[in-house]
Structure 1
Amino acid sequence: MSDGHGPSPEPPSGWASEQPPPYGAPQASPWTAPAGGQQPPSGQQPYAPGPQPPQPPQSYGQMPYGAPGYGYTPHPQPLRPGIIPLRPLRLGDIFDGTIKLVRSNPKAVLGMSAIAALLAAIPLAVGQAFLFGDVGSALSDPTLAENGDPAVFGSVLAQYGGTLVSYAISFVVVTLLTGVLTRILGRAVFGGKMTAGEAWQASKGRMPALFGVVGLMALVMLAPVAVIAAVFAVLISSGLAGSPDAVGGLVVLFLVLMIFYIAYVLFFRARFAFAPAAVVLEGRGPIDALRRSWTLVTGDFWRVLGILLLTALVVGMVATVLQVPFVFGGTIVGVIGGGSAWTVVLGAILVAVGGTLGAMITYPFEAGVAGLLYADRRMRAEAFDLVLQTAAIEQQRQGWVHASADELWRPSDSTGP
């Protein structure tokens, strides 16, 4: 029966006949993959969106929850297609994203980290082997130590020499590993994955520039050491260390200079933390990458330094827990064997295993934190999160992660300078 307003209009095509027009059949979602069972092109990976937050129920005639005038309006959930939300990151986001990076690519991340850790552990194990052999011999024959056998002192020098070589190798491989893992991280931000071979193929062209960054950073870090050594050589050769008071003064001077040197190292370590990422993801040269890192850190230096120090403390504690049983066992086996070949070799192997396990956790976590800090600084300083969000929405609409997403990190494709 008509109510005086004329016949009711027919609902438009596509609406369900059982429900009034505003609540008919849902529209097609723009986040679904292409219809017809299409597969992503070769070299591209399907996108698998994570669970979406539940929506509150609505009844017919009720204003949508969160609409203007309804009352409380919840904050929209940030877009998170991969390991981090595409917005400026908090400390928890950085640590959580680093863990997700390892879990989403365990073979690539942990495999390359294990190789790098083994390279750094071998010199340390060799130095320990010399020490085990000579100390074991001295314990079995105390007259060697009493007579001042030079082999015992040589083993001590070998141990410290192996430690220094291990630190040098660690510095190099961590920088290179950071560059390669940053390539994996750049894809993981969008929810994509890369194998170790794919990451190496994508990064090997940047290895000369990464070695250039390593060389320049080594020069910056070691320049004060050369100056301090020259100053003390002049003071000692001039005869100023001839009296006990002069020796005490030199010791105090050395301690003061070491404090300043540690501050110097921390300052430049934070300033150049993003240079490997700038080399790999932005395609910059060594000097340009150092300059780029310096620019990105400017304005947020203390936060960057604090997160890097906290990361080093956390991974150092974890690495120590993993290393101590092997180092302790290797020392006991190597020493009580009386310097025999098999106990020395077994002790050195245990030390190498402990060092490898500890560094295998330390390296990827430090590299992941540095890479995500780099992404965070670009989001904060250059509004780069808008670029990432636009690209992620397009990839979600098409249903796969494009390999061309790696190019988005170049400043020419963003708002960066």
Structure 2
Amino acid sequence: QTRVGWSQQIDIYGENFPDDASVKVGTYDLASVTVLDATHLQVVVPDNIPAGQYDVTVSGAGLLDGSAAAAFEVLPAETDTLFAYPDELWAGPKVPRQYENTQIGLVVRRVGGTSPIDNLSVDFYLGDPQAGGSAIGSGTVVSLPPSTYTSTTGVDWQPTVTGLQDLFAVVKVGGTEQFVISRTVNVLAAAQDVMPPTITAFTVDGQGNSDVSTQDVNIQISAQDDDGGVGVAAIYLMEFDWNPPLGQWILAQSSGWMEYQEPLTFTWSLHWFPGTKNLIAWAADYEGNITPIGTVRWINFIPPAISINQGQVQMFAYNLSAGQSFGAISTPAFGDPDLYFGDTNTWIAHSTNPGTQIDTISLTATHDDLYTLAVYGWETSRYGLSISPSLRGPTGEDVEKPAGSQITPPNVPADTAPVTQGLPAYVPSYPVYLPLVIH
């Protein structure tokens, strides 16, 4: 998804993509298509496509077209849209088990709007309510402000059978149905050990929250089970990108369950979008118990050369204390990328020099806050970005451009984790040893 007036980079996955692949969104040919391999394309949707839902079509010389119906949506510039993701229809904090009490809920997301929604409810069902599904209960969202997301209150649920169960959520505002979403969860058998493990350490390139310049980073995670527990079995990692047009964290990729060793060390290739990313880790034990709340590390991915499209915004988060200095310099190779800097409430500085003139921001934080550096593509550009407390650059012309309203609200909530508890169940596997008989 994106909104009118916003350029957006997207990934397309499939099979047998040719080296000369071209892509259409509806009837609009996309000029920027990168073929990573026969299963993965990276494309740029420009900022001038009207609102609507569009088929996405991939073509190649001598091949039949491949198309995904209604796969991309452009929302109006002034929109008020509710939606949810299936994997955020959650069950927890404990893993669902037969005859044991747990709770279910749904993360409801909103794009746009002008005032809070105060009368939002979600009805939960076991099975499709249109096909005889049984009602479980109703959760509420006390208040859902514009361009944000939150979870409903938890609804008690006691599964009576094990195995795969289909949960449905019917989202209503003022009693009027808005949409329905569903998810399949795995109900486990009862177990003696029902306490989940805990993440005790989580670093990215040996650090916590930090800037990284390479796509491949080294991740190290340690976890421990409760006293008397069955032991830590696996780790699950999710990577989220901040999506400025939607004002939402968007799942970029996930690891699946990885077998645990103490500590678990591995190389992770970041999703290709520059900007602030949230990495979240969970642990599971051999009884299938999963950490109810993931451990979060946020990083800024700043590659040496960054491409940005006209109308696109890239955001980087910085936690500054009062009196702390901050400096940023953008050096364009071509195009015209501009810099904006703000706290959680408003933009407080900008540098909008024309063309390939260097843009710079240098200031001292007046209060403790999570600040945001935003790069806006006034034109399609390629640039380098340097961050340092002592950076000072040339003043330049700093011409006025009507881009500031395009990138509000200014803050990236890097220290607020994406609300997700919809992890796949961890089903432990055990080796079976058979006797070797030689005749």
| TM > 0.5 | no
TM bucket, shorter chain: under 0.3
Structure number having the greater strand percentage:
2
TM-score with structure 1 setting the length: 0.20
Q: Larger relative CO (CA 8 A, sep 6+): 1 or 2? A: 1
Larger radius of gyration: 1
More helix by share: 1
